[in-house]
Amino acid sequence: MRVLITGAAGFIGSFTTHRLLDQGETVIGLDNLNDYYDPTLKDARIARIQDRSDANRFEFIKADITDSGAMAHIFESGKFDRVVHLAAQAGVRYSIENPHAYASANLTGFLNILEGCRHNNIEHLVYASTSSVYGSDTSMPFSEHVGADHPLTFYAATKRANELMAHSYSNLFNLPCTGLRFFTVYGPWGRPDMALFLFTKSILDGKPINVFNHGEHQRDFTYVEDIVSGVVYALNNPATSADHYDPRSPDPAISSAPWRVYNIGNGKSVGLMEFVKVLEVKLDRKADINMLPMQPGDVLATWSDTSDLKTDFDYQATTSIEEGVGKFV
């Protein structure tokens, strides 16, 4: 199987590439290597892939998903079977400062992916969404079968828009599409703007860590390899139309079109201060904590209901916080 992975130099994208190569697939990795964070980290992730003994089944393409001409050519010449779309402008808080970057990458870029899939007989499009789409919803755990139409940031709004855009293409062109709502991903080779990376670096440098909402946050921390397991399960099982879909009482998780959305999380909500304590143990150092008020766009808690993924693919996250943080450290 020839699989296009966009965002292949990214955190989740690079791990997904390794997993698919391990399974014998041919992977074409695409990334624009932008400088949202240090590009040397992205270069290093790609270098790790290219150093593999089976790197002959990997090809890297430097390109921007917002370039419609380039993307049309890549799709036409690539002869891909399936697509994993992970490229995006990431970061919740940065979307407050620079919303245009999100409109370009997450809306125009995603449209180019949909068009590429539509015109080139792609068997299945799997794309990244986010738990942030649940926004102001406080009913826990978050379920795909409950509406997600009150996002609190523009980043979350673009990802919810991706789910709706995918549904329209699925309906119009019979394109199987699966959206994956990731919950607080962490692990080795993670992004430098993520909490675990920021906390660890500050503690090692003897600097205070900023803990928002006075440490009252709770998150469904999910180890990157568990996320990738869900991505691969979904990729191997193209979305189909749901026989039991009722248009008079529509279920937000399914459709009469070949379209699905799934949560991928650990299925547990952990207090942020508990997370910090585990990190202190793994580093054998105490953190100097700077308690701060809640930030705009933040949510108090996240907690995933992953029962659909369990039922459909026998998915279960297996990595504890202690193990995952230890691997990062």
Read off the pLDDT of residues 193-209 as tens digits, 9 standing for 90 and up. 999 999 999 999 999 99
How far is residue 261's CA from residue 163's CA, in Å, rounded to a whole number? Answer: 8
Contacts of 31 (CB under 8 A, 6+ apart): 6, 7, 8, 9, 10, 13, 42, 46, 60, 62, 63, 87
Determine the 3-state secondary structure of 207 from DSSP.
Answer: coil
pLDDT value at 297 more than 80: no
Which is it for strands 259-264 and 209-211: parallel, antiparallel or unpaired? unpaired
If you search the block for the tokens 């499009």, which residue do you land on? 125
How far is residue 112's CA from residue 204's CA, in Å, rounded to a whole number? Answer: 42
**CA-based nearest residue to 171, from 255, 275, 267, 274:** 255
Q: Omega of the bond prior to 192 within 30 degrees of 0, cis?
A: no
Mean pLDDT score across all residues of the chain = 96
The kind and range of the H/E element at 259 are strand 259-264
Q: What is the pTM of this model?
A: 0.96
Q: Is the dihedral of CA 194, 299, 301, 286 positive or negative?
A: positive
Q: Which residues are catalytic?
A: 155
pLDDT value at 154 more than 90: yes
Q: Is the dihedral of CA 34, 40, 44, 50 positive or negative?
A: positive
What is the model's pLDDT at position 95?
84
pLDDT tens, 83-128? Answer: 999 999 987 778 888 999 999 999 999 999 999 999 999 999 999 9
The kind and range of the H/E element at 117 are helix 109-119
Q: For the ranges 164-168, 293-297, 301-305, which has the lowest average pLDDT? A: 293-297
What is the model's pLDDT at position 77?
98
- Cβ pair 29, 63 in contact under 8 A: no
pLDDT value at 169 more than 90: yes
What is the model's pLDDT at position 298?
83
pLDDT tens, 231-289? Answer: 999 999 999 999 999 999 999 999 999 999 999 999 999 999 999 999 999 999 999 99
Determine the 3-state secondary structure of 104 from DSSP.
Answer: helix
- Cβ pair 263, 306 in contact under 8 A: yes
Strand stretches in 144-202, DSSP E: 177-182, 185-186
- Cβ pair 207, 251 in contact under 8 A: no
What is the model's pLDDT at position 183?
97
Residue ranges of the alpha helices (H) in 174-306? 195-204, 224-235, 272-283
Share of the chain above pLDDT 90, in %: 93
Half-sphere exposure of 265 (CA within 13 A, CB side): 28
Cα-trace Rg, the chain: 19
Which is it for strands 185-186 and 222-223: parallel, antiparallel or unpaired? parallel
pLDDT value at 20 more than 90: yes
Assigned token pair, 320: 């504890």
